[in-house]
Structure 1
Amino acid sequence: MIRPRLPRRLPFGSPLQLLLLSCSFALSAYAGVRLLEGDWFDVALWFVGAALLHDLVLLPLYAAADRALVRAAGERRRRVGFVRVPAALSLLLLLVWFPLIGGQVSARYGAATSLPADRFLARWLLLTAVLFGASALVFAARSVRVMRSRWGTKGRTPEES
């Protein structure tokens, strides 16, 4: 009789990963219970509306924009990631902080925190510029590395070869 061989490791990951995942589920459950304590119907309606808005409107829009970017890049598709990543991060920050960036809740924010709310637009623009600048630096460094590997390890330019 052949006995099935048991795997040496659990298929779930390391014990640390399981602990972190359990803690994140516990924290999410606690936050969900606290969030739904008050007006649970409006909160649930907001979540359903946000999911529908994302899946039916936003996802097709940014998928089409990404597809157009890839088509425009043509043979240089590897370079698309250097635009895609900072653009996605910048748009995510805009989506999360839109009421403050757009100045729609400036009075409420100022009353609740006694801090000025007029700095969010400038900070978001600065962070967007930093993201695109860092992406350009990474692109330049990788381009130089690729060029050096094509020219050889001695650092000769194609004209010297």
Structure 2
Amino acid sequence: MKGDADRPMGRWTRWWTRRRADQEAGRGAGRGAGLWARLYGAGPGHLAGLVVCFAVAGYAATRVVEAGIWLGFAVWFVGAAVFHDLVLWPLYSAADAVLRAPSRQHERPGGRPPLVNHVRVPVALSCLLLLVWFPLVLRGAEPNYVGAVGLSTSPYLARWLWITVALFVVSALLYAVRRRAAGRPGR
């Protein structure tokens, strides 16, 4: 049986751990990297990502103002933030705590893999799809959609449900494979 050092993930994990330790010690990409990390708190890639995000958000804001819908957008944005923080966050935090409770019992080496991420991922992807497509899935945009493209929104609910089922089936299969692999002797 191969040891951890011979497995590709073992080597990758050791490389990543060494890289992170070097970055934290300021030995990353020369003397400037340590100074940059001490002054800014993260690498230059982080700052570049933030600049790109703010540029996209600024462009979107200019489009909203130009379209003359900024007041409605501001009300929607604040309402969505409040709804998320006061309603959704407590709900999915409680659901996650319930889901993680049984996996804490099996956190010993050689135990079964935790189920929590095999439920989190399909739920998150399904909710994301519903969030993006909810006017069509819930048929709230039927008149506008028919007027724009001449098609009905009726297939969207069934398609969203089938995609959700497929996500859970794939996740369950991956969990079964991981659980079977964890149950093998010598692992």
In structure 2, what is the equivalent of residue 30 of structure 1? 59
Task: Say which SS state the counterpart of residue 115 (structure 1) adopts.
Answer: coil
CA distance in 2, matches of 1:71, 1:104: 38
* Distance change >3 Å, CA 73–CA 24, structure 1 → 2: closer
Cα distance, 1:18 vs structure 2: 4.8
C-alpha RMSD of the superposition: 2.4
CA distance in 2, matches of 1:74, 1:41: 47
CA distance in 1, matches of 2:130, 2:158: 12
Which stretch of the first structure deviates more once superposed, 22-31 or 49-58? 22-31
Mapping for residues 27-106 of structure 1, pairs under 5 Å: 27-37=56-66, 38-71=68-101, 75-76=105-106, 78-106=114-142
Cα distance, 1:130 vs structure 2: 1.3
* Distance change >3 Å, CA 73–CA 143, structure 1 → 2: closer
Q: Percent of counterpart pairs with the same letter?
A: 45
CA distance in 1, matches of 2:86, 2:76: 15
CA distance in 1, matches of 2:82, 2:146: 32
Cα distance, 1:69 vs structure 2: 2.4
Determine if the alignment matches structure 1 residue 109 to structure 2 residue 106: no
In structure 1, what is the equivalent of residue 23 of structure 2? none
In structure 2, what is the equivalent of residue 156 of structure 1? none
CA distance in 1, matches of 2:53, 2:104: 42
CA distance in 1, matches of 2:140, 2:104: 40
Give the letter for the 2:158 counterpart. Answer: A
CA distance in 2, matches of 1:123, 1:63: 28
Give the letter for the 1:140 counterpart. Answer: A
Cα distance, 1:115 vs structure 2: 3.1
Compute the TM-score of the two structures, normalised by the length of structure 1.
0.76
Instruction: State whether residues 36 and 43 of structure 1, in contact with CA within 8 Å, keep that contact through their aligned partners in structure 2.
Output: no
Determine if the alignment matches structure 1 residue 146 to structure 2 residue 176: no
CA distance in 2, matches of 1:81, 1:39: 39
CA distance in 1, matches of 2:149, 2:136: 13
Instruction: State whether residues 82 and 136 of structure 1, in contact with CA within 8 Å, keep that contact through their aligned partners in structure 2.
Output: yes
In structure 2, what is the equivalent of residue 135 of structure 1? 171
In structure 2, what is the equivalent of residue 124 of structure 1? 160
CA distance in 2, matches of 1:118, 1:25: 37
Which structure: greater helix fraction?
2
Segments of structure 2 that go 5 or more residues without pairing to the other structure are 1-29, 108-113
Cα distance, 1:7 vs structure 2: 3.7
